Amino acid sequence: MTKFVKSAAFAAVAALCASVYGGVGDRPVSADGLDAGYATDAYPGFEPRQSREPEFKDKSWWYSVKRDSPEAQLEFAHVFETNGNSKAAAKAYEALVREWPSSPVAAEAQRRKASVLARMAADKGDMSLYEDAFDEYEYLMHYFPGLCSYAKVAELQYKIACHLKDDTKSIFGFKYDTNREKRLRFESVVRRAPGATWIPDAMLEIANLRAGDNELAEAAEVFDNIVTRFPDSKQAREAAFKACKCRYELVKKMDYNASRCRNALNGVNMALKRYPDIDEAAALRAWADELSGMLEENAWKNAVFYDTRQRTKQAAVSAYERFLAEFPESSHRGEAVARIEAIKGGAAPLRK
């Protein structure tokens, strides 16, 4: 299908949705009246939603229709489904969608195909069929947004994503895939139904999958978002601790960076303040002590550095005074006070 024809077909679908449901824009409204608005920059740590946008289905000789009208083709496919011939039913529904994408029954055919695949997946325990079912529901939501129930379809997709979460592809026992595709499925359903009751759990899955791929900074952003959106939930407590864990591990794994260390410490202190009775409070306090110690030692090294290379006495004195202001209880306090007095008394810079 040429780009022009494809655009025209999609425009026809959109026009049909508008005529039936009063308009389909960037924030689609589901058939049951629930707002199913997208979010783009409202989900830190998510990939752009274009990551899983399905391609428009072109006509294909492999999916040729067997009846002269979309309504007759729908009935033709339904007979296969009723008789238990799921594979033939799915192919017949697919043919209808490809041949008559702007038909009033195309959305129903797309929904039924997805449902058939999901049922086949459940009967056979076939993960690849679950993947196909999820993608078919994704197509339904993307190209027929006003002709399906966002709430119901998104929940079906969420359940399928949960089925696929633990599916690990491997060769000779060695895992060769990442968590990205699993994560993108959860990201899609969160965007589709932001008000659903299962959203906190879905977001936890996203963050855990990020962390599982060692994408710690992105995982921390998602964990933070859970705390922000659902502060009183049990998921928020888990997320608060795991966000701190991600940032603590980043500090430990990477070269020392004062800003990164301070960010991790601030996160730990915030978690303890927000949830003082959190189960992991002891671990958080231990991390806070360690991070604070790292910042203190780095600040001390910086002060000594100024002292060994003083261009003016005041620069060295100021460095020690800043250190004392930030770490008044430091074990280096005595040394800092002594050096300030010595420099003011005319002492030479420290040796390297």
Q: List, for residues 205-221, the tens digit of each pLDDT value.
A: 999 999 999 999 999 99
Query: Does the structure show a pLDDT above 50 at 10?
Result: no
| 269-325 per-position pLDDT tens digit | 999 999 999 999 999 999 999 999 999 999 999 889 888 876 678 888 998 999 999
Domain count of the fold of the chain: 3
Measure the CA–CA gap between 166 and 160, rounded to whole angstroms.
11
Residue 181 and residue 202 in one domain: no
The pLDDT score that the predictor gives to residue 97 is 98
Residue 213 and residue 69 in one domain: no
Residue 243 and residue 306 in one domain: no
Query: Does the structure show a pLDDT above 70 at 41?
Result: no
Residue 286 within any structural domain of the chain: no
| 147-202 per-position pLDDT tens digit | 888 889 999 999 999 999 987 664 445 555 679 999 999 999 999 888 999 999 99
Query: Does the structure show a pLDDT above 50 at 14?
Result: no
Residue 7 and residue 122 in one domain: yes
Residue 287 within any structural domain of the chain: no
Residue 117 and residue 185 in one domain: yes
Residue 105 and residue 151 in one domain: yes
Query: Does the structure show a pLDDT above 80 at 3?
Result: no
Q: Amino acid identity, residue 238?
A: E
Residue 50 within any structural domain of the chain: yes
The pLDDT score that the predictor gives to residue 49 is 74
The pLDDT score that the predictor gives to residue 311 is 63
The pLDDT score that the predictor gives to residue 65 is 95
Measure the CA–CA gap between 179 and 170, rounded to whole angstroms.
13
Residue 284 within any structural domain of the chain: no
Measure the CA–CA gap between 174 and 308, rounded to whole angstroms.
54
Residue 285 within any structural domain of the chain: no
Looking at 253, 279, 305, the residue that finishes a domain is 279
Least confident of 41-45, 60-64, 278-282: 41-45
Residue 289 within any structural domain of the chain: no
Query: Does the structure show a pLDDT above 70 at 92?
Result: yes
Q: What is the CATH number of the domain that holds 246?
A: 1.25.40
Structural domain boundaries, residue 319: 296-352
Residue 116 within any structural domain of the chain: yes
Three-state SS annotation for the chain: CCHHHHHHHHHHHHHHHHHHHCCCCCCCECCCCCECCCCCCCCCCCCCHHHHCCCCCCCCHHHCCCCCCHHHHHHHHHHHHHCCCHHHHHHHHHHHHHHCCCCCCHHHHHHHHHHHHHHHHHHHCCHHHHHHHHHHHHHHHHHCCCCCCHHHHHHHHHHHHHHHHCCCCEECCEECCCCHHHHHHHHHHHHHCCCCCCHHHHHHHHHHHHHHCCCHHHHHHHHHHHHHHCCCCHHHHHHHHHHHHHHHHHHHHCCCCHHHHHHHHHHHHHHHHHCCCCCCHHHHHHHHHHHHHHHHHHHHHHHHHHHHCCCCHHHHHHHHHHHHHHCCCCCCHHHHHHHHHHHHCCCCCCCC
Q: What is the CATH number of the domain that holds 4?
A: 1.25.40.10
Residue 219 and residue 150 in one domain: no
Measure the CA–CA gap between 250 and 215, rounded to whole angstroms.
10
Residue 187 within any structural domain of the chain: yes
Please give the model's pTM, rounded to 2 decimal places: 0.81
Residue 153 and residue 221 in one domain: no
Measure the CA–CA gap between 255 and 212, rounded to whole angstroms.
21
| 188-197 per-position pLDDT tens digit | 999 988 899 9
Measure the CA–CA gap between 260 and 266, rounded to whole angstroms.
10
Residue 182 and residue 201 in one domain: no
Looking at 249, 279, 309, the residue that finishes a domain is 279
Looking at 224, 246, 279, the residue that finishes a domain is 279
Q: Is 250 or 305 the better-scoring residue by pLDDT?
A: 250
Residue 185 and residue 309 in one domain: no
Residue 187 and residue 225 in one domain: no
Residue 104 and residue 15 in one domain: yes
